[in-house]
Structure formats: structure tokens, C-alpha cells
Chains A and B, each alone.
Chain A
């Protein structure tokens, strides 16, 4: 089984860090896609086979919670695990993400181990 991951973050720095972390995870990851906001992410999901999504919340055009809502409202994507990785630590945002169906939540700043732990749990 090979996994394709989609990283959604408007910061190229964070996308680069997550790429490195994912390459270190002992999981059969074959492709890593990137998107800078929710709109780009949906375009990737419509054209590529993605196994799970790592998404920021605060992004232009379409934020991470809107993206999560879109994913969970569409039958073809509904079972896709989405882990939120964000500076948003407010209880209401965490609850909103959980209620919308997020598979996990990691707060920035994060260690590579925290990301690996979440991914291993999902994989």
C-alpha cells in the first residue's frame, strides 16, 4: 500500500518542513502534493489520489476549516483523514475542527515527532 499526502499551508516554509518530516516517517509515502490554500487543495483532490491531508487553518481564499467542511460534505472525499496543523489553539477552533471531522490537531510550533506520531496513528 502506498500513500499520497497533501500538505495545505500558505507558508512555503511550513510546506518545506512538513515535506522533510514526511520523508522521515517510516510509512510507504509515495507522493507528496502541496497547496497554498483550500481552493488549490480541492483542485489537487479532484485530480489526484490522496490518502490523507495535513492542513493549516488560517489561509487566504479558503481557510482550513472551510476546506475540512468541503471535504466532509463531499461523498468522494468524506473518508479522507484530515489533520489540522495550526497556530490556532483557541478551544472553539479546536472543537469546530473536531466537530467537522478532523482526524487530529497539532499546534504550531511543533516537533517532527508530534507530526510523526499523528501520522503513524492514521497510517
Chain B
């Protein structure tokens, strides 16, 4: 069971930040369908109200820098990670090992890479970091103080198996140094409203 932290579901978020969030939805659905043959459905969005979120399972994270800066992450339970890696690598995994960790970080790379490509079309060139994957129980994550993470939650159903996972994005636009602070303030205002 994934703990979604102290977030709250924001219905109007999709409308206000629809561009980014729809890209997250589309790239996640496409990646799971193409690489895993698994159907996933977006269920909710949460916004971090505080900077810390409790997690259990795996979290893969990629940094983005350039016209838009921030990070994208993929968080799921051990059970789903093993299931996804089994589909991805066409082998059976009943427990998390290096291959499962690598498979999940690669899935995250594909999802965040798709988001980056779409954002570049509107904002300009960006770079991607190498993926990092964290695995454990009862750990905390913290997003930058400059932005707030929006989590797009998904339901994954595969035969008799069903579980939830989420893709988190924490992004700040930076068109120029002069407009940076005002854009940042506007970004926070949009998220808070």
C-alpha cells in the first residue's frame, strides 16, 4: 500500500496545470502499455502541503534542468515493482533485486523523458539527470523548497492483480533571471489557489 502523504485532491488542478499533468498521464499510460502491456488509469492528483511525504516501496527519481527545472519521480509498492519488472524483462521476480530496481528506474526515465521532450517544445532545451532509485520502508522524501510536488496517482490492474502508484513532478519555469522570481511566485499562487 502506497502512502500518499499529507496531500489533498485538487479537482481544479487539472484545469490550471492541465498541460503538464496531461503529458504525465499520457506518457505514463503509453510507457506501461508499450513496455509492460499493462493498463493503467489515472485516479487522482495530490499536491504536497508540506515538504515531506511518507513512502513505502520504491521511488525512482530523475532531475531536469534548463528552461524548466525540477524533478520527476515514479513511486510504487514492492509488489507492483516486481510485477512490472517481470513484465518488462520477461522473467519472474518475486522480490526486489538489482534487476527490478534497474527496470523501475528505466520506466521512470521513459516517463520523465517523455515529459521533458514535450516541455522542451514549449519552453526550450533541458537536460536530464541519470535516474536514482530508492528502495526501503518508512522513509521520507523532500522536494525543493522552491516548488511543490504534484503527484498523479494511477491504478494498475493486471489479471487478478491491482495496485496503485504515482508519478510526481516538481517543476519551476525559468525563462530568464529577471522573471524568475515573479514566475516562481505565480507558480506557487497557481498551486495554492
Contact = CB atoms under 8 A, between A and B. Distances in A.
Given A88-B117, A110-B34, A11 B105 contact: yes
Contacts, number: 59
Nearest to B98: A12
B89 A16 contact: yes
Which DSSP category, helix, strand, loop or mixed, fits chain B's interface?
helix
A89 B102 contact: no
B89 A17 contact: yes
Interface stretch (B75-83, B107-115, B174-182): B107-115
A62 interface: no
Interface in A13-58: 13-14, 16-17, 20, 58
Interface residues of A, number: 21
B125 A109 contact: no
B99 A13 contact: yes
A69 B116 CA distance: 24
B65 interface: no
A43 B118 CA distance: 35
B102 A13 contact: yes
Main secondary structure on A side of the interface with B: loop
B34 A111 contact: yes
A87 interface: yes
B185 interface: no
Interface string B34-55: 1100000000000000000000
Interface string B102-134: 110110011011101100110001001010000
A109 B98 CA distance: 21
A12 B99 CA distance: 7
Interface in B11-47: 30-31, 34-35
A90 B125 contact: yes
Nearest to B115: A87
Interface of B: 30-31, 34-35, 85, 88-90, 98-99, 102-103, 105-106, 109-110, 112-114, 116-117, 120-121, 125, 128, 130
Interface of A: 10-14, 16-17, 20, 58, 60, 86-92, 108-111
